Amino acid sequence: MEYVCIVCNYVYDPALGDPESGIEPGTAFKDLPEDWVCPECGVGLDQFEPYED
């Protein structure tokens, strides 16, 4: 499941991960480290919610 940042609308896609932050493709949102932040605006995990298109 994808998650969207409610601040800037960045969508975290587990299939892609976040390689620039060291997050491998296939990493589920629930498995992200607690200190991971949105690569677009820098907010924490608590500012993301499930993405429904």
pLDDT value at residue 2? 98
CA–CA distance from 9 to each of 14, 52 (Å)?
Answer: 16, 12
Amino acid of residue 44: G
pLDDT value at residue 52? 85
Cα separation, 49 vs 1, in Å, equals: 10
Q: What is the pTM of this model?
A: 0.92
- C-beta of residue 43 within 8 angstroms of C-beta of residue 7: yes
CA–CA distance from 30 to each of 3, 48 (Å)?
Answer: 10, 11
Q: Is the pLDDT of residue 53 over 80?
A: no
Q: Is the pLDDT of residue 36 over 90?
A: yes
